[in-house]
């Protein structure tokens, strides 16, 4: 096979390689339900290039080895993390994206796709309640969107060179904020963690008192982070009250909606996450519940000029862009990046608003069903209004919860149920995420029985 497709004729070899690889992928999906979510063992193919390249046939069988050793998100009992099966249309988007090999760095390297990204971000902004000046940029994952938001907030506050500047976030905020602290050259105490209440929501009274303390120490705050859907229990901070605090204090509000933001797309579920539009910046991760093939994250901002004023350096090796827009590479940390929006766009077009709503509503239905089947006299269940819950036996010590979670996770895996085992506060929990549309109520009934029987 020629290593690159002919620009003149139909490349028959590429065509048949794509057909065979697609067929092998479809087989992989078709057999996923009869395999375990994760294989007990696997064989890795040859890793390093040999002296001469291998044939297509050999490539396909090597690929098969990798596929056999992969995690299977479409197994109906894969419930461990926020990693659902990929939306079928977005698989096609990923393939076409690779083939086009456009670059969102510069308009001339991705004319239609750059415009698509801007328009898609604007659509999200409007749906989630942002105003006319809003816009956004795609990023490879929620951690990067969160980092860019903090860099922007600090810059807009004029505190970019103040290493003592702080931001507030709940003690249940995602670990990406700790990473951001390190990357941004801030001290560990720059992340001022605010205690949460019994529902896992940031305590507003504590926000006020910590803010007072920080002011008394002469330090400046450049952002408050509210979480719309915490990682372990899906709690949603009081967005309205936090935004009131931010307005009064004239501080940037970033909402980490990596998990919950997407619920704002449906009129029915948007009630749960009311107030997203009051943010200065918002992370949404369609790669999570919507199943857009990884990665797919957006950083949305109330005023898109804040992105360019923070990240634009000029792009002297590319043709200037016409109009008032900026090159994609001037709106965030990444330079070269793939057209992730293509998979998002094709996935959303395929689903339509009704399809999106169905995914959101059914995820909550599955969670509520599982919750109703767990014996609440034995287990403490922690869950917000979203599609995830975590549980641990009532009154267990930390070490008892550790033993129980290891043993139970193992016995659940023997029944092909894969749950995760997060440490929360001082105990281990088993966490189930109901973002897998292949999961049936019968699966959940069996799961609940196995969990209920895990302690006498
Ligand atoms: C609340 C929250 N924010 C941010 C992230 C980070 O997203 P990513 O893994 O896409 O970087 C996660 C990941 O689970 C999360 O749960």
Q: Give the mutation target among 258, 288, 289, 299 for probing the ligand 1 site: most ligand atoms within 8 A of CB.
A: 258
pLDDT score, position 324: 82
- How many Å lie between the centroid of ligand 1 and the Cα of residue 274? 20
Instruction: Please state the atom number of ligand 1 nearest to the C-alpha of residue 295.
Output: 10
Phi, psi of 380 (to 5 degrees): -90, 120
d(CA 148, CA 170): 19
d(CA 365, CA 367): 5
Span 247-257, average pLDDT: 98
User: For all residues of the chain together, what is the average pLDDT?
Assistant: 97
d(CA 63, CA 45): 8
d(CA 75, CA 438): 7
Question: Kind and range of the H or E element at 35?
Answer: none
Grade residue 322 by pLDDT with cuts at 50, 70 and 90.
confident
- Longest CA–CA span in the chain (Å) reads 72
- How many Å lie between the centroid of ligand 1 and the Cα of residue 140? 11
pLDDT score, position 370: 98
Question: Who lines ligand 1 at CB under 6 A?
Answer: 82, 141-143, 146, 174, 176, 227, 229-231, 256, 258-259, 285, 297
State pTM to two decimals: 0.98
Instruction: Please state the atom number of ligand 1 nearest to the C-alpha of residue 288.
Output: 10
- How many Å lie between the centroid of ligand 1 and the Cα of residue 174? 6
pLDDT score, position 323: 85
Q: Give the mutation target among 231, 273, 334, 431 for probing the ligand 1 site: most ligand atoms within 8 A of CB.
A: 231
Give the C-alpha distances (Å, rounded to integers) separating 450 from 185, 392, 411, 419, 454. Answer: 47, 14, 9, 12, 6
Instruction: Please state the atom number of ligand 1 nearest to the C-alpha of residue 143.
Output: 11
Parallel, antiparallel, or unpaired: how do β-strands 221-227 and 166-170 relate?
parallel
- How many Å lie between the centroid of ligand 1 and the Cα of residue 43? 30
Q: DSSP 3-state assignment of 363? A: helix
pLDDT score, position 1: 78
- Domains of the chain (ranges, CATH numbers): 12-70 (no CATH), 97-348 (3.40.640.10), 360-452 (3.90.1150.10)
* 395 close to 348: Cβ distance less than 8 angstroms: no
Span 162-186, average pLDDT: 97
* Angle, CA of 314, 320 and 322, to the nearest 5°: 125
Q: Which two tokens stand for residue 418?
A: 């894969």
Grade residue 449 by pLDDT with cuts at 50, 70 and 90.
very high
pLDDT score, position 456: 86
Instruction: Please state the atom number of ligand 1 nearest to the C-alpha of residue 285.
Output: 10
Q: What is the dihedral of CA 146, 150, 156, 157, to 10 degrees?
A: 150
Span 180-196, average pLDDT: 96
pLDDT tens by residue, 386-442: 999 999 999 999 999 999 999 999 999 999 999 999 999 999 999 999 999 999 999
Span 204-230, average pLDDT: 98
């Amino acid at each position: 096979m020629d290593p690159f497709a002919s620009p003149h004729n139909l490349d028959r070899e590429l065509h048949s390689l794509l057909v065979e690889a697609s067929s092998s992928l479809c087989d992989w999906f078709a057999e996923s339900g009869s395999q375990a979510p994760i294989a007990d063992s696997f064989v890795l193919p040859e890793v390093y290039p040999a002296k001469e390249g291998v044939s297509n046939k050999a490539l396909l069988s090597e690929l098969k080895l990798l596929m056999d050793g992969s995690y299977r998100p479409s197994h109906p009992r894969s419930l461990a993390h926020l990693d659902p099966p990929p939306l079928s249309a977005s698989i096609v988007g990923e393939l076409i994206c690779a083939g086009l090999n456009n670059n969102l760095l510069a308009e001339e390297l991705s004319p239609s796709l750059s415009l698509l990204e801007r328009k898609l971000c604007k659509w999200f902004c409007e749906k989630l309640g942002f105003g006319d000046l809003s816009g956004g940029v795609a990023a490879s994952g929620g951690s990067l969107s969160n980092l860019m938001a903090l860099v922007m907030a600090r810059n807009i506050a004029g505190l970019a060179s103040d290493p003592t500047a702080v931001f507030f976030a709940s003690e249940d905020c995602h670990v990406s904020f700790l990473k951001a602290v390190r990357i941004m050259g801030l001290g560990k105490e720059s992340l001022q963690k605010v205690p949460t209440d019994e529902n896992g929501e940031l305590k507003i009274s504590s926000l006020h008192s910590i803010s007072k303390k920080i002011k008394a120490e002469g330090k400046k705050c450049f952002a408050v982070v509210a979480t719309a859907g915490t990682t372990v229990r899906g709690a949603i901070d009081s967005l309205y009250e936090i935004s009131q605090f931010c307005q009064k204090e004239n501080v940037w509000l970033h909402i980490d909606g990596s998990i919950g933001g997407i619920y704002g797309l449906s009129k029915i579920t948007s009630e749960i996450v009311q107030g997203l539009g009051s943010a200065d910046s918002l992370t949404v991760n369609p790669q999570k519940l919507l199943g857009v093939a990884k990665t797919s994250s957006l950083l949305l901002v109330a005023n898109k000029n804040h992105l360019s004023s923070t990240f634009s350096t000029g792009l002297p090796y590319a043709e200037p862009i016409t109009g008032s827009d900026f090159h994609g590479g001037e709106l965030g940390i990444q330079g070269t990046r793939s057209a992730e929006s293509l998979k998002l766009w094709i996935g959303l077009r395929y689903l339509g608003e009704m399809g999106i709503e169905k995914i959101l509503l059914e995820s909550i239905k599955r969670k509520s069903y599982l919750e109703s089947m767990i014996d609440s006299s034995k287990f403490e269940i922690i869950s917000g209004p979203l599609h995830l819950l975590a549980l641990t036996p009532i009154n267990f010590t930390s070490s008892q919860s550790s033993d129980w979670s290891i043993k139970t996770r193992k016995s659940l895996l023997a029944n092909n149920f894969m749950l995760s085992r997060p440490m929360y506060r001082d105990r281990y929990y088993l966490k189930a995420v109901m973002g897998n549309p292949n999961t049936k109520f019968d699966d959940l009934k069996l799961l609940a029985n196995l969990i209920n029987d895990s302690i006498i």
